[in-house]
Copies of this chain bind each other. A is one copy, B any other.
Amino acid sequence: MQLPSLLLENAVNEFAKLPGIGKKTALRMVLHLLKQEEASVQLFGDTITKMRKEICFCRRCYNVSDGATCSICKSSFRNQRLICVVENIRDVIAIENTQQFNGVYHVLGGTISPLDGVGPDQLTIQQLVLKVQEEETEELVFALNPTIQGDTTIYFIQKKLQHLPCKITTIARGISFGGELEYADEFTLARSLQGRLPVENFVK
């Protein structure tokens, strides 16, 4: 695609680097910005640069944070002895949006995946083990994606923690709400049978 201006072309190329954005969509965005006030485009640029420059990662849970410790780790309303272990920041946001979890988080930064060259040392596993030891954590809830890599990671961390009194659980796997039994795969169906619950728990 040939563009009539170098300035336009540079801006389009920058947008086209974003995930899921091709040149045509990038052009649409740039032409949209072109119609905006100069000040609001300046604000757009500055906000993004500032975000990248000033954002920190919480030194306790590795979630994104505006300071050295994130608001969840600082909160006195949160149960600091209940830790939910997740893969990435997006999972923290997803769980927070359910408003069902009152503990704190630990972001691993991925799962153990030898094929992708990710071993335990690339993740924050060591820090998690130390934290559980030092803070006498009562329960660790694993909320990892239901993949082989996720299961391997749970197994690995659980082995490291077996000498501690910390309870280790994982989020339930089963049929999604609104899902249909006949279309569920056998593996999910089998898991949901193994993990069956008394009805009084269920309707609570």
Q: Which residues of A contact B (CB under 8 A)?
A: 1-8, 10-11, 14, 17-21, 25, 27-34, 36, 38, 41-55, 63-66, 70-72, 89-90, 92-93, 96-97
Contacts of A30 in B (CB 8 A): 48, 51
Are the CB atoms of A63 and B27 closer together than 8 Å?
no
Contact partner of A29 (CB less than 8 A), chosen from B1, B19, B66, B90, is B19
Contacts of A51 in B (CB 8 A): 7-8, 10-11, 30, 33-34
A66 and B9 alpha carbons, distance in the complex (Å): 11
Are the CB atoms of A14 and B71 closer together than 8 Å?
no
Asked if A29 meets B36 with Cβ closer than 8 Å, knowing A8-B64, A42-B49, A89-B4, the reply is: no
Task: Specify the chain B residue showing the minimal Cβ separation from A89.
Answer: B31
- How far does the Cβ of A79 sit from chain B's closest Cβ, in whole Å? 17
Contact partner of A6 (CB less than 8 A), chosen from B27, B34, B52, B66, is B66
A42 and B52 alpha carbons, distance in the complex (Å): 8
A41 and B44 alpha carbons, distance in the complex (Å): 12
